[in-house]
């Protein structure tokens, strides 16, 4: 209950922040724009009208805020200048691809990462090369990994399609559609998985090494309990709480990761939306993406807190 | 100084040497640049030659000069944001640990909030709204990265506060300066690790921002150079990417990896 209130406060803070930031930031063009229409040549009169109707910059701040809140409760995020459609519709259409990519990548990378991590944690010392290359991959920005993969595999070797989520013109239900989607997904998914394995691996390895030092594991070794049981019952069970904490962070990171990867591969998710929102100065869209991402982070955290609570009760 | 360098592992020694070399290039970039970074009078799209080490781009910049100039801007951003993030994060942590109570609750809950939302999206939002100036990019990075430093610093400082020497200082009614004096030897090493890590993060954030086309277009960082290369349509037709895209990518990757390895607490390195 207490945490529910906490998360409610978080969400209201985020909403307040998303309202306040555009108005506080020095040189924010949001309101200069209304006065200087010539600076946004690609903005039509209609879009400007929709913009003024949504933000109504002539009202006093408090009323603006009330209106903003009201709009958000009605899930009305305004009208995108660039795409010329309602922001809600746009995001609804795109968010599925982003979630698909990030959830799939988390599933695959945590399976591989946890497995490898526990194995090297049990073995004790791992080869320097593996650890330092994992640290190096972890250090490299995701979009660079994506760009490098795109150059080599898609442009130079022409093995896989370089952009998009499906061949233009293909639609759901056509024969070969699903294969086509999978074909387009391999490369972005691969990049995401590669960028996510190292943190999970390093984490699993360290916590396994810590559990291994505990007395009860030593005891189990003396008692000659078979390897498989020890693996599952003694070690894996004990690193679950720590792993859950890490996965929580990973779920948030996966969204930002897939945003970058999507932007590189022009995958029709939030990332691509964000990129065009930024380059065409599409503020309502930008604001909505911020809200969606932050709400996602808060919700993920909330779910993991619930899981952690349940775990504590069971023990 | 030299003694502590000798104690480092091999990997960390190599990282330190690379970083010092990078810093050197950044400081003396004015002498190393064959042309000005604003000079666009060169013939366009030349291949590398003796007078243009990395060729020229589609506007007429000498790419080698841009790359060297990138050292200066990128490393400047890294150091300034790293410094401020570390300072703000640890001082807020110290304030929370020293005063406790409501002050601690407010600051740490704010930090919690910023830790659970994806920070790069916040940074992007902030800096794409602000005027495209370097200072605002740095401000955005600092503003949204201190919470992570704060959380770890708070944990460490709370541990050190339990130490006898600190308790004794508090007992004889030492004020916050006295307590800080006792704490400093313990927190300084932690702070230096934070600084290195935050430099790393700042470079990554800046590169990501540049990738999305945010930031001062005149201050050519490596990220901006990478973006410019990726925007060039015929990058992949021949081997242009070898001297246009690859050098800034390599510089960036080597720099962040050296920073990460230096800050890493993994004892196997």
In sequence order, what are the residues at sequence separation of 6 or more whose Cβ sits closer than 8 angstroms to the Cβ of residue B210? B221, B223, B224, B226, B227
pLDDT in tens, B156-165: 888 888 777 7
pLDDT confidence of residue A39? 45
Q: Give the residue from A315, A157, A130, A140 showing the smallest Cα distance to A241.
A: A315
pTM score, two decimals?
A: 0.85
pLDDT confidence of residue A36? 46
Per-residue pLDDT of chain A (315 residues; tens, 9 = 90+): 677 888 888 888 888 888 887 777 666 555 555 444 444 445 556 666 666 667 666 677 777 788 788 888 777 777 777 777 888 888 888 888 899 889 999 999 999 998 888 888 877 666 777 888 888 888 888 888 888 888 888 877 877 777 777 776 666 666 777 888 888 888 899 999 999 999 999 888 888 888 877 777 777 778 777 777 777 777 777 788 888 888 888 888 888 888 889 888 888 888 888 888 888 877 788 888 888 898 898 899 889 888 888 776 554
pLDDT confidence of residue B141? 92
Q: Nearest 5°: CA angle at B141, between B96 and A273?
A: 125
Q: Please name the residue of chain B whose CA is at the shortest distance from the CA of residue A253.
A: B118
* CA distance, residue A2 to nearest chain B CA (Å): 13
Q: Quick one: CA dihedral A120, A121, A125, A129, positive or negative?
A: positive
pLDDT confidence of residue A45? 63
* CA distance, residue B132 to nearest chain A CA (Å): 9
Contacts of B266 in chain A (CB under 8 A): 131, 135, 202
| Positions in chain B whose pLDDT score sits under 70 | 1-3, 174, 265-269
Q: Which two tokens stand for residue A222?
A: 């003396």
- Across the interface, do A139 and B260 touch by the CB < 8 Å criterion? yes
Best mutation target, B113, B262, B263, to test chain A (most A CBs within 10 A):
B113
Best mutation target, A9, A21, A139, to test chain B (most B CBs within 10 A):
A139
Residue A160, CB half-sphere, CA atoms under 13 Å: how many?
22
Query: End-to-end CA distance of chain B, in Å?
Result: 21
Q: Burial of B89 by CB count in 10 Å (0-12 exposed, 13-18 middle, 19+ buried)? A: buried
Query: End-to-end CA distance of chain A, in Å?
Result: 21
**What is the complex's ipTM, to 2 decimals?**
0.81
- Across the interface, do A135 and B125 touch by the CB < 8 Å criterion? no
pLDDT confidence of residue B110? 87
Contacts of B152 in chain A (CB under 8 A): none
The DSSP call for residue B52 is S
Report the residue from B116, B241, B264 with minimal CB separation from A301. B116
């Amino acid at each position: 209950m207490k945490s529910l209130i906490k998360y409610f406060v978080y969400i209201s803070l985020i909403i307040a922040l998303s309202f306040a930031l555009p108005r506080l930031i020095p040189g924010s063009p949001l309101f200069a724009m209304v006065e200087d229409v010539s600076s946004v040549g690609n903005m039509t009169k209609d879009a400007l009208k929709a913009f003024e109707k949504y933000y109504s910059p002539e009202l006093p701040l408090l009323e603006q805020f009330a209106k903003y809140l009201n709009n958000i409760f009605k899930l009305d995020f305004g009208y995108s200048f660039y795409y010329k459609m309602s922001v809600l519709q746009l995001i609804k259409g795109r968010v599925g691809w982003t979630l698909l990519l990030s959830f799939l990548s988390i599933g695959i990378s945590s399976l591989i990462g946890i497995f490898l991590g526990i194995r090297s944690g049990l073995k004790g010392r791992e080869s320097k090369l593996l650890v330092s290359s994992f640290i190096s991959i972890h250090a490299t920005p995701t979009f660079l990994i994506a760009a490098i993969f795109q150059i080599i595999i898609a442009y130079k070797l022409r093995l896989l399609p370089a952009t998009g989520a499906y061949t233009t013109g293909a639609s759901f239900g056509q024969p070969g559609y699903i294969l086509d989607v999978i074909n387009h997904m391999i490369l972005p998914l691969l990049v995401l998985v590669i960028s996510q394995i190292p943190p999970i691996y390093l984490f699993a390895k360290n916590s396994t090494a810590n559990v291994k030092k505990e007395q009860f594991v030593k005891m189990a070794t003396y008692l000659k309990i078979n390897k498989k049981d020890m693996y599952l019952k003694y070690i894996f069970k004990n690193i679950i709480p720590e792993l859950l904490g890490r996965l929580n962070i990973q779920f948030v990171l996966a969204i930002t990761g897939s945003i970058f990867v999507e932007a590189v591969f022009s995958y029709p998710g939030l990332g691509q939306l964000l990129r065009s929102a930024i380059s065409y100065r599409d503020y309502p869209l930008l604001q909505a993406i911020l809200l969606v991402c932050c709400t996602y982070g808060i919700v993920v955290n909330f779910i993991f807190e619930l899981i952690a609570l349940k775990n504590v009760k069971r023990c | 100084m030299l003694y502590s360098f000798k104690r480092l592992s091999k990997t960390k020694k190599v990282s330190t040497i690379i970083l010092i070399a990078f810093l050197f290039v950044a400081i003396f970039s004015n002498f190393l640049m064959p042309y000005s970074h604003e000079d666009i009078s060169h013939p366009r799209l030349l291949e590398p030659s003796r007078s243009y080490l990395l060729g020229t781009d589609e506007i007429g910049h000498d790419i080698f000069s841009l790359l060297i100039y990138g050292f200066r801007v990128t490393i400047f951003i890294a150091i300034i944001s790293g410094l401020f993030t570390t300072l703000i994060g640890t001082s807020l942590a110290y304030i929370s640990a020293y005063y406790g109570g409501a002050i601690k609750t407010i600051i740490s809950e704010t930090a919690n909030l910023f830790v659970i939302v994806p920070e790069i999206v916040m940074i992007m939002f902030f800096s794409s709204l602000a005027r495209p100036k370097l200072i605002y990019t740095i401000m955005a990075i600092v503003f949204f990265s201190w919470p992570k430093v704060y959380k770890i610093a708070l944990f460490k400082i709370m541990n050190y506060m339990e130490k006898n020497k600190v308790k004794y200082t508090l007992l004889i009614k030492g004020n916050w300066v006295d307590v800080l004096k006792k704490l400093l030897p313990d927190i300084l090493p932690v702070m230096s690790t934070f600084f290195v890590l935050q430099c790393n993060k700042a470079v990554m954030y800046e590169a990501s921002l540049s990738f999305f086309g945010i930031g001062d277009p005149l201050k050519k960082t490596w990220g901006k150079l990478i973006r410019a290369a990726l925007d060039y349509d015929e990058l992949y037709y021949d081997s242009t990417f070898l001297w246009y895209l690859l050098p800034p990518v390599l510089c960036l990757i080597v720099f962040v990896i050296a920073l990460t390895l230096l800050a890493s607490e993994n004892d196997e390195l």
